[in-house]
Structure 1
Amino acid sequence: MIDYERYTERLGEHIVTNPGRVVALFLVVTLVFSAGLGNISTDAGTSQFTEDSPAQEALDDVNREFTPAFETSSGSTQLIQRSSNVLSKSSMLDMLRLQQSILERTDLRATSASSVASTVAQTLDPSATTIDAQIAAMEAASQSEVRAAARQATSNPGVASLLSNDFNRESVTASATIGVVSHEVPGISSSAGTSGTSPLSDIQTEIQTMSTVAESDITVFGSGIISSELGNVIVDSLLLVVPAAVLLIFAFLVIAYRDPIDLLLGVISLGLAIIWTFGFMGLADIPFSQMLIAVPPLLLAVGIDFGIHAVNRYREERIKDVAPGPSMRITVRQLSVAFFIVTATTVIGFLSNLTSDLAPIRDFGLVAAVGILFTFLIFGVFLPAAKLYADQLRDEYNVPEFGSAPLGTEGGLLARVLSVGVVIGRRAPALFLLVVVLISVGAAAYGTGVDTTFSQEDFLPPEEQPAVLQQLPEPFKPGVYTVTRDLNYLEDTFESTQGDSVTIYVEGQLRDDSALEEIHRAGEDPPKSFVSSDRRAESTSIVTVIQNYAAQDPEFAALVDRNDADGNGVPDDNLDRIYDELLASPVSSQASSYISDDYRKTRIVYTVKGDATQDAIVNDGQEVADRLRMSSTATGSTVVFKAISDTIFMSAVTSLVIALSVTAVFLVLIYQLLEGKGSLGIVNVVPIVVTIALLAGSMRYLGIPLNALTATILSIAIGLGIDYSAHVVHRFSDEYNAGGDLFEALRLTVGGTGGALTGSMLTTTTGLGVLAIAITPVLGQFGIVTALSIFYSYLTALVVTPPTIVIWERLTQRGTDALTSVSS
């Protein structure tokens, strides 16, 4: 055993003899950390998760291979048009005129515009290659001529795919269509997902202001708008969550402290913990992401617990007429060990996330762990010193105390309610624990079916926000978000949502006579998730580039025809010359985006259905890749997201196993070193195992998946849950070692520590649960499951721990008696 009391007594002596100096030192350190607050940057969206991902690296390789050197970054804006009939002359003129306005604005950096309207205009007048000529052709045609041209143009499946699912070929009507404007904008990332703001954001916002037209409703959509909303949602979520959490926490702290000076000290301590943690982030150059929005509530959760325990334990001594100095020495001696155990196990839980392959989860684990260490120092040293210093000043200036009685005082209603675990331990501990084991096993088995997801929608606000949020005053009223609504509309209205695709990366000898036929055949009888027409997958590849250029150039068409043995439009011979001619033609840039210079690498891009699941898309993409004899890999943003989803699941499992194993070993060692009773560490772990089982089952029952943020909850549940059971076990050990009866020690434990735990639970579940009102779904889900983990930890600490201690005492006492009998 380690004589830890001499260290805790030294700490207590230093705090008691120099409270003012301790307070001053902490305030100076706060000034140092506050210097880092101005360096904090933000990072939003999904691209932060795809960094260092093998799937993303494969996609980056494809982009580098088929993107010409020194090419200006490109982006596109989708114009979603709705009207009673988007194929009417007036509606198509609306679309063309908006595209004309965009192309005329040099600041919008538009290079081209395409739509069903422009195709119909060129059907009316094949020479109308400019937007001005297309508008003139449309204006000059009669209604019947426009209708006939529209019927002819939409016979092309590619054109028809830009029309809504209600497109009627007979009546030539549709309620919606999509137009596309291409831009050349420097600084646009091609990575999967979006992050923060981009140059395209301002462009698409400006186009939205231009889109009000006479008869049609045209909505602007694109990656720039998604990027902008992902950035804005962080600010709006903080403006909602932080004030609400502060108000609710403040209300509960008023009840818990019941003294304005103690309340002020508690709030100041919480503020210092937040400043130190955020200052560390700025100094360490860690960007603030959506995941890190959860860190302040987590620090509040642990800080509130430590604060209430410190003040409550001090009050327990003061009501015995013990002087302030000795009372604080006892408080520090007893609680510093419990705080150390809680801090160490909580840090272990958070640091277990460093094993994740995802950088944001690693950053979350590191920042949370550092924040908990800061919280330990502030509430374990600063708050006791500040409390004692304040009481000394209070005595000096005769300031009265208010509500200084500790929570859960003997004989009170709360103490009687909290004693339920002790009653169970006295009457039927073994039977109760058997029931708990059965419930836990059932909940854990049920919880193994919890879903795992990762998608851009996780980070976007819901389509409809609660009406009450729109009634809030500025600046708390959230902004208007349209991305999710538009994404859902595209998915529901069009067979294929623009941008949903799977890329097959092919490596092999493309000069072989069978190479192009092999690529062509891969799209026959496509899987269900692929968009198809006439039993062929909708795709773009070097084959479609060849076919499209052959349709434009008769000389090239003759070359293809001479080398097409079976007459299907796909050349079978002399492929070297086919490629050479193609790369020397006006469509060389398009061709080079599908075939490498050495004719050994190519890509095929298949369009997939907007409502297809990630699993279906990835599996179907791999199925098509396997049809090719050449080396082929399925990739694309959807494949990347699926890989991240799988990584999230593995991260959750790995961090859980590591956190639980290391925590158990640590607790056994620390109780052996401090108390000579290592088996108390196992007692400490039992309620946590029950909590995790109940939490997993609850997540599946409530339909909350393991996503980028909730995947950390299992390891967090260990860290925060240990907080409750460690206080109970350590307080019991102190009371039991003092020579008390087993059940008397348990009664004193739940009556004293249980009262503080109740105040902490009510405050932290409310403070964390308020995340449920965050605009981002992933934050709301995290708030719910974290609040549940706190409640389950509290419940198991007070109900499961006492019977477990009774069984532990019987087993250890039986072993001691046996050893005594043998020795005698």
Structure 2
Amino acid sequence: MKLAERYAATVTDHSKLVIVAVLLLTVGMGIGAGAVDGGLTIAGFSSDSPEAAALDEIERNFSVAGENTTTAQVVVRGENVLTRESLLETLRFQRAITEDASINETLRAEQPVIGLSNVVATAAYYEERGGGGPPPSLDAQIDQLESMSDSEVESTVERVLDPDADTQGDPYALLSTAYEPGSTTAPARIMLVYQDTSDGPADSLSEDVIAAQVELQDLAEASITSTDYFVFGPGVVDEESGQATGESFAIISPAALLLILGVLGFAYRDAIDVLLGLLGVALVLVWMAGFLGWAGIGITQILIAVPFLLIGLSIDYALHVVMRYREATLDDPDLAPQAAMRRGLAGVVVAIGAATFTTAVGFLSNAVSPISSIREFGLVSGVGIVAAFIVFGLLFPALKLEVDRLRERLGRNPERTPFGRGERVGRLLSVGATLANRAPYVVIAIAVVLAAGGGVAATGIDTTLDQSAFLPEDSPEWMNLLPAAFQPSDYDLKENADYLNENFVQSRGSAQAEFLIRGPVTDPGTLDVIAAARDDLRETDSAAVRADGNLQSTDPLSTIEAVAAQNETVAAMVEDADTDGDGVPDENLAAIYDAVYDADPAAAATTIHRENGEYRSLRATVALTGTTNTRVITEEMRAVASGMEAGSSLDVVATGSPITTELVQRSLLRTLVEGFLITFGVILAFLAAIFRVRYRSASLGAVVLFPVVLAQAWLFGTMYLAGIAFTTETAIIAAIGIGIGVDYAIHIGERFVEERDGGRDPIAALQRTVRGTGGALLASAATTAAGFGVLMLALVPSLQRFGFITAIAITYAFLASVLVLPSLLVLWSRVRGEDEVSAEPAA
């Protein structure tokens, strides 16, 4: 008796014991689920690149603006947002903010709100009083504008925004880039609300801060009526993204469940089998959740992909067990349920076991990744895949057998034919065998050409990460026809983010580049190098240029200029050190740095690092356009840094959140691609070994794996045509395609060789394979592809991409297994000198 037959005999002879044992194991594992952190977090990625180290050094050694704060941006837009009415509205809005306890308690202590209305009101206040004195309170600012006529406010706006005026604050930073300098009208302006996050969690916003940002939206609706407005901030993004995800699943889940139940019902034609399969899926997910708890792994965005992989494999395993069981009954109607299950399980357990081993090991190969989130993804996937085998290779056949015994005793055990052995479905599935008999070379040539095209297209796939691509979008019109309980809310997050990026110069950490300048920073000419870098930055596409034509940047030179404007001693030293009259000090830099520190140590600490009396490094920052991708930003900022190094003895590193994000993205993609290669290598070696042991042919392993490679190439070509970037998110989804594709191919290859060993010629063996095993694959692929394809109806783009790529990956895996693999198997048989193929497929 072969090992597979002994295994099947053990499961069927001790079915009750198997059921009890696996259920007890499931309970034991499931207990850990209670310890799982249910809060979804962003997967933590880090890089050990020089750029990341430089950013850490900047945060350690310089006073970084915005530390322990988060910013909500209130955008006011309309035909003219500089009218007296509009300016007063936003001042009253600020007063409502301070009077709202839930918002006020989250605001930072110093200057919590900054807006152009404050600049204008303060300028008018000082002008009326002859200048000097403490800054006016918010109430005083409101009283000031209320006491002025429209024309008086317009005159003040004109003076404040005069490009040559020495206005306190930076009004151009609060205006859209569409504003024309000197004009008294503007289409949009921005108000910044700063919130204190020092008492909150390190890697996320507190609930109070998020709630306060959401409350800002309600206050704005009541306060700003003369113009359009929107509130944008990380708290608003978190709140609305979570709400959109929930509403998406509220719409999708019933549709997906109905589709899955419909397809499974059509394939099984037995409600009991459908329920048993769904029970098995639920138990596999219990194993996964339990492992997360026992291992202390929290739920991250990346791990969301794992349940989908396990659901797909579980449905597939269940279908194969049931259909092979039914095939055994159909081939020998006199078999008792136990004997039929024994024969069916023996015929499928090797394929299920091989698929489990290859996919589990493939995913576990990510456990060697230096990135913790990828390690966790590989580990959880591997354990979940093994759990799928335990449930569907042990519990499910035993439970199915006991249920059928009970139904037989009750006289309610209907006979069901295997899905692929029906006349219509059988004819459809036989296409692959027919083509393999008549034109195998043509089939393979077409498949390879398409794969080659996909491979070429893959080199052109965008690999940049667009953060706005993850924001929810407004629902399509047809969703308004849904029942009121299912109609989603209106979402303008992506539209608002795009508007901000296109119309305003952002100064957030995620929207600026940093330069760490080390070495002899007191040498003559150092500041000239920085001044030249400003000119280089203006020539880039990445650096943002404000409406007044200037960069929004800070560096040691701008710090010195700002302090010199307020301090005569510093101004005199700068003038003496400027030997060529270009306004940039050329010598005596250490003394100038000392004077700046003496005059304004807080300002100096933002751009000049001094340690034990020695000047070690300098810092420069520049705001970036929101429409430039991280790859271009990285390349351009590195070029500017190289230019600074070329003209000096300085060591300059271009860094910042966009650059480190780009480098982490590259590292992740490299890790995942390496993981793919390891996965294919491990799977190829295992398949070669198992087919060598079982059927004396190691080459069959490569034959079985080849269609999986083709399917991946087709998938990448489709991603290119659909304009979907190859990012960490999509790479992990593609890994699901590999796992399921290997599973499908193993089932076809294993069944074919089994039929050949039964004495059938290649085409007859293929007919049995594609009508039997292929039927289970068709039902499995249709179920999972339809279920995941429904995700394309989601409001969240990441869910849409997930559904599209997963559905396409599953479809291609199925087509490669039932259309391409049969032709490969026929040619493999010919090369081995086995029986000649018949003129027509066997019936």
Are the counterparts in 1 of residues 41 and 299 from structure 2 also a CA contact under 8 Å?
no
1:73-472 matches, cutoff 5 A: 73-103=68-98, 106-110=104-108, 111-112=110-111, 113-124=113-124, 125=126, 126-127=131-132, 129-132=135-138, 133-156=140-163, 158-169=170-181, 171-187=183-199, 195=204, 199-211=208-220, 212-213=222-223, 214-232=225-243, 235-319=246-330, 320-321=332-333, 322-354=335-367, 356-398=369-411, 400-402=412-414, 404-409=416-421, 412-462=423-473, 464-469=474-479
Per-residue deviation, 1:236:
4.5
Per-residue deviation, 1:639:
0.8
1:61-72 matches, cutoff 5 A: 61-67=57-63
Identity %: 34
1:480-495 matches, cutoff 5 A: 480-494=490-504
What is aligned with 1:820? none
Q: Distance in 2 between matches of 1:24 and 1:522?
A: 72
What is aligned with 1:37? 33
What is aligned with 1:819? none
Are the counterparts in 2 of residues 73 and 186 from structure 1 also a CA contact under 8 Å?
yes
Per-residue deviation, 1:26:
2.1
Are the counterparts in 2 of residues 260 and 402 from structure 1 also a CA contact under 8 Å?
no
> Is 1:658 aligned to 2:667, yes or no?
no
Q: Distance in 2 between matches of 1:431 and 1:256?
A: 32
- Pairing partner for 2:653 from 628, 633, 644: 633
Are the counterparts in 2 of residues 495 and 609 from structure 1 also a CA contact under 8 Å?
yes
After superposing the two structures, state which structure 1 stretch, 685-694 or 757-766, moved more: 685-694
Are the counterparts in 2 of residues 118 and 131 from structure 1 also a CA contact under 8 Å?
no
What is aligned with 1:729? 749
Per-residue deviation, 1:240:
4.7
Per-residue deviation, 1:671:
0.6
Change in Cα spacing, 1:286 to 1:479, as seen in structure 2 (3 Å) is farther
Q: Distance in 2 between matches of 1:503 and 1:101?
A: 36
SS in 2 for 1:709: helix
TM-score (norm 1): 0.91
Give per-residue Cα distances to partners, 1:394-445, cap 9 Å, x unaligned.
12333x13462211226x1211221122222222323432333333223322
Change in Cα spacing, 1:467 to 1:347, as seen in structure 2 (3 Å) is farther
What is aligned with 2:841? none
SS in 1 for 2:418: coil
After superposing the two structures, state which structure 1 stretch, 107-116 or 759-768, moved more: 107-116
Per-residue deviation, 1:675:
2.0
Are the counterparts in 2 of residues 504 and 635 from structure 1 also a CA contact under 8 Å?
yes
Per-residue deviation, 1:198:
5.8
Q: Distance in 1 between matches of 2:260 and 2:237?
A: 34
Change in Cα spacing, 1:702 to 1:791, as seen in structure 2 (3 Å) is same
After superposing the two structures, state which structure 1 stretch, 653-662 or 679-688, moved more: 653-662
Per-residue deviation, 1:707:
1.7
Are the counterparts in 1 of residues 464 and 629 from structure 2 also a CA contact under 8 Å?
no
Q: Distance in 1 between matches of 2:55 and 2:484?
A: 42
Q: Distance in 2 between matches of 1:72 and 1:496?
A: 16
Letter matched to residue 701 of structure 2: G
Change in Cα spacing, 1:137 to 1:551, as seen in structure 2 (3 Å) is farther
Letter matched to residue 547 of structure 1: E
Are the counterparts in 2 of residues 547 and 569 from structure 1 also a CA contact under 8 Å?
no
Are the counterparts in 1 of residues 42 and 301 from structure 2 also a CA contact under 8 Å?
no
Give per-residue Cα distances to partners, 1:786-811, cap 9 Å, x unaligned.
21121111112111122211111111
Q: Distance in 1 between matches of 2:798 and 2:10?
A: 45
Per-residue deviation, 1:656:
2.4
Q: Distance in 1 between matches of 2:227 and 2:155?
A: 21
Change in Cα spacing, 1:279 to 1:13, as seen in structure 2 (3 Å) is same
Per-residue deviation, 1:635:
0.9
SS in 2 for 1:408: helix
Change in Cα spacing, 1:686 to 1:513, as seen in structure 2 (3 Å) is closer
> Is 1:617 aligned to 2:633, yes or no?
yes
Change in Cα spacing, 1:471 to 1:543, as seen in structure 2 (3 Å) is farther
Q: Distance in 2 between matches of 1:27 and 1:788?
A: 35
Q: Distance in 1 between matches of 2:309 and 2:252?
A: 13
Are the counterparts in 1 of residues 465 and 630 from structure 2 also a CA contact under 8 Å?
no
SS in 2 for 1:740: coil
What is aligned with 1:16? 12
Q: Distance in 2 between matches of 1:268 and 1:520?
A: 68
Change in Cα spacing, 1:100 to 1:541, as seen in structure 2 (3 Å) is farther
Per-residue deviation, 1:473:
5.8
- Over aligned residues, Cα RMSD in angstroms? 2.8
Change in Cα spacing, 1:89 to 1:431, as seen in structure 2 (3 Å) is closer
Q: Any stretches of 5+ residues in structure 2 without a counterpart?
A: 165-169, 837-843
Are the counterparts in 2 of residues 46 and 195 from structure 1 also a CA contact under 8 Å?
no
SS in 1 for 2:419: coil
After superposing the two structures, state which structure 1 stretch, 782-791 or 430-439, moved more: 430-439
Q: Distance in 1 between matches of 2:629 and 2:64?
A: 32
Give per-residue Cα distances to partners, 1:565-622, cap 9 Å, x unaligned.
344444344433433333344x422321222222211211111222223232222211
Q: Distance in 2 between matches of 1:114 and 1:666?
A: 64
TM-score (norm 2): 0.89
Are the counterparts in 2 of residues 40 and 288 from structure 1 also a CA contact under 8 Å?
yes
SS in 2 for 1:84: coil
What is aligned with 2:840? none
Q: Distance in 2 between matches of 1:44 and 1:554?
A: 55
Q: Any stretches of 5+ residues in structure 1 without a counterpart?
A: 817-824
Q: Distance in 2 between matches of 1:633 and 1:329?
A: 67
Letter matched to residue 632 of structure 1: V
After superposing the two structures, state which structure 1 stretch, 635-644 or 588-597, moved more: 588-597
> Is 1:769 aligned to 2:789, yes or no?
yes
After superposing the two structures, state which structure 1 stretch, 56-65 or 694-703, moved more: 56-65
